[in-house]
Amino acid sequence: MCIGIAEGLNYLHTGMEDRKMLIHCDIKSDNILLGENREAKIADFGLSKFQHAITINTMHLAGTPNYWDPEYLKTGKLKKASDIYSFGVVLLEIFSGKLAWDSRFNLENEKGKLIQMLDLKLIKDVCELSFTRKEKPADDSLAVFETIACKCLAKTQAERPTIGEVMKELTKALYIQENTMKPLKISREHITFSVENFTNDNSIMRGCEMLYKGTVKYNNRRLDQEVHVKQFSTTSQEDGFLKEFEVLYKYRQENIIGLVGYCKENLEKIIVYEHASKGQLTRYLKDTSFPWITRLKVCIDVANGLKFLHGGDGGQDVVIHNDLKSSNILLTNDWKEKICGFEHALTHPANTEIKYLMNDVVGSLG
């Protein structure tokens, strides 16, 4: 939708032999109409001005408060950059779900904190997997969008980008968003083949969530390394599947099991982990060949993983695992530890404490 508006402005701002350049003068969400497929159409040209020179000097301001270019408001100098400023306001309206005169609408939002303007209702019950048309903004896509929106809102006209530059960056943000999950999606057919139809011989954990050893195949080519495959076997496990994927996608650290990919086709819900060749810690607890010094190193690895999850570093939320147990600790061939099993994880912003009711308690007995 943003790109559609930008394309319309680009047409207006680019003069051709048979037409003059036009400054709209009143870009706002009220003047954007939507077609059946939500394609954007710029409307209401009653205040528009043909641009005969680079700058139009006027004593009569045109436009709508809250969308006015501050330099135009102060000096009466009207340029194409004035439309760019108004468009910057509209970009934030589209993102946040708030109109420019809403008390919660904040043009002074610091770079890197644009997400704070987003109404949580807009992303309730949505996920990172593109299962619905409602998707959370991917971090890299949001960063590109935020940067260009902030440039549009520069205080001076000279600092603002051209509409061509805006189009380029919005297209980049869309490309990133659309392609964020594609490299991680694996077909059900390939996963089924690689783990021999989830036979019990390959299973290393029993229960509602089944974990298997195997390999995956892309385009008729097997990966060189083996993987672990976790199958969520009931429809009631949708939330756990989404939560585990979200945590593994966002939180990457040497003591957290690595995410290879996912599959969600029909009723199948599958997460593919990196391979941890020694399997679960549980199987070694009574093993006398599992020496004390190795046990201590495993404990330190688990502590490092928890420190990362609990730290809320880099603006990330704090993650409470909520089901830490020996069967959710996998070991690599060199006894490096990998925490897995995040289907019950809880997240909350750093420096805040979240209280949960007793009926929210999950985890494992013991």
Which residue in 18, 26, 119, 334 is the catalytic one? 26
Rounded Cα gap, residues 127 and 150, in angstroms:
26
216-231 burial: b if 16+ Cβ within 10 Å, else e: bbeeeeeeeebbbbbb
Distances (CA, A) of 160 to 104, 155, 164, 174, 261: 24, 8, 12, 21, 40
Distances (CA, A) of 345 to 14, 311, 318: 52, 15, 10
pLDDT of residue 189: 76
Is the entire prediction scored with pTM above 0.85? no
Q: How many CB atoms lie within 10 A of CB 253?
A: 16
pLDDT of residue 131: 41
pLDDT per residue rounded down to tens, the chain (366 residues): 999 999 999 999 987 767 788 999 999 999 999 998 889 999 999 998 887 766 677 767 888 999 999 999 888 899 999 999 999 999 999 988 889 888 877 776 555 567 777 766 666 544 445 443 445 677 788 889 989 999 999 999 999 999 999 999 999 998 888 777 666 788 777 775 444 444 444 445 444 557 777 777 755 555 555 788 888 876 667 788 888 988 998 888 999 999 888 888 877 888 988 888 898 899 999 999 899 999 999 999 999 999 999 986 656 788 999 999 999 999 999 999 999 999 899 888 777 776 766 666 777 888
Query: 247: closest CA among 145, 109, 345?
Result: 345
Collapsing DSSP to helix, strand or coil, 204 comes out as strand
Could you tell me if residue 343 is left (phi over 0), alpha (psi between -120 and 50 degrees) or otherwise beta?
Answer: alpha
pLDDT of residue 169: 94
DSSP class per residue in 98-132: --TTSTT--TTPPTT-GGGGS-GGGGTT-BTT-SS
Question: 241 burial class (0-12, 13-18, 19+ CB within 10 angstroms)?
Answer: buried
Could you tell me whether strands 259-265 and 268-274 are parallel, antiparallel, or unpaired per DSSP bridges? antiparallel
pLDDT of residue 91: 94
Using the 8-state DSSP alphabet, how is residue 227 labeled?
Answer: E
pLDDT of residue 328: 92
* Cβ(82)–Cβ(24) below 8 Å: no
Domains and CATH numbers, the chain: 2-180 (1.10.510.10), 188-360 (1.10.510.10)
- H-helix segments, 57-119: 70-75, 80-96
* Cβ(255)–Cβ(222) below 8 Å: no
Can you give the length of the chain in residues?
366
Using the 8-state DSSP alphabet, how is residue 18 labeled?
Answer: T
Q: Is 26 a catalytic residue?
A: yes
